[in-house]
Structure formats: C-alpha cells, structure tokens
Amino acid sequence: LRKLVYLIGAVQFSYAVYYDFTYVRIPESQHRMGNDFGGKFKYLTFLDAILQALYFTISLINDFVGTNEVAPKNTPTIRKIKDYVLASLAFPVAMNVGLSFWTLYAIDRELVFPKILDTFFPGWLNHVMHTNIVVFIVLEMFISFRVYPKRSKGLAGLILFMGSYLVWLHVIKHYSGIWVYPVLDVLELPQRILFFA
C-alpha cells in the first residue's frame, strides 16, 4: 500500500507540475498576473507541487533502497532526507497551501482563485494542487514511520524556505507593481504582516 501511495503521489504531482508549466496559459487580458514576471514560480502552490513530487519520489526510492523501520540502527541517507523533508517542508507547506487556499476560496474565491481562471486552469489540476496535497501528506503520516529532526533544524528549514518565498513575493511586487495574490491588495500593512506570520 505504501509503495502504491508513493508512486501515485510522485506521478500525480510530477504530472501536475508538467501540465501546469506546459499547457496552462492565462492571457494577461484575462487575469492581472497572467504569465508575467516570475512565471509559475511566483505561486506557492506551484512550488509546493514541485516539493510534493520530490518528496513522494524520495519516499518511493527510500522504500526500495532505504528503510522504513521504526528506529533503524544505521539510518540510510535517503531515509534521513525523507524524514527531514517531511517534517520541515512537505507537511507544513502542504497544509499551509491547502488550508489557506480553501479557507480563502470559501470566504471569497476572487481573492485567491478568480472565477475567470476556471477557463484556463482545469478543475482536476486545481484539486491535485490544492486538495490532494493535503490528502496525500496526511495519509503519509499514517502509513510510514519517521524520525523527526531536532526542532531547531526542522524550523530552520521551514523558516528559510518561507522567508525566501516572502522575499520573492516582495521582489515580484516591486518589479510587476502588483501582488501575486489578490487578497494582499485588500489587506493593510499590519494585516499583511499577520497574514504572512
């Protein structure tokens, strides 16, 4: 079962990244972000899909050449990488993307995924990138053992990743003149700080 989950996860997230990057084109006349500065890499959703594809690929490789023992005496490097990526990046980023997206979507979808995008962004792709990321990472918590990194190391990885993304958002805002996510337009500075925190 575990190998099948990893295989499906690796394939679906890899295909979603490929499909989005290759086929999804939003004309700038239809949506303010279109395909301008930063391309697909401006969206945390796209970056997370890449992260999930890598994580489930690493997990699948670990199933074949590593170990899934509860507490192995000699932990293979692939298992150490798998455990670190899960705890510091794959789980928290997937939960952030999925829960933030669907919460904002329920409040006012125009703030996060305007209706006009339905024409260009297939529904199945939306669910792979915003629903399945949560389903598969939660499922992972039940089907495999892990050794968590020291809290300071795990948090350091997450803070570095999210801090870099926040800087990237501001670089995009500086060069394009608009925020990546429409919700940031309606928030005042203190609210934006709270939103980012």
CB atoms within 10 A of CB 75: 15
Which residues are within 8 A (CB) of 10 and not within 5 positions of it... i.e. 6 or more apart? 53, 56, 57, 59, 60
pLDDT of residue 51: 99
Q: What is the pTM of this model?
A: 0.92
Least confident of 3-7, 78-82, 93-97, 170-174: 170-174
Task: Give residues with Cβ within 8 angstroms of 193, minimum separation 6.
Answer: none
Contact 196, 184 (CB under 8 A): no
Reported as a single tens digit per residue, the pLDDT across 15-24 is 999 999 999 9
Domain ranges of the chain: 2-196
Q: Give whole-number Cα distances, 167 to 46, 161, 164, 170, 174, in Å.
A: 17, 10, 5, 5, 10
Per-residue pLDDT tens digits for 136-190: 999 999 999 899 999 999 999 999 999 999 999 999 999 988 888 878 888 888 8
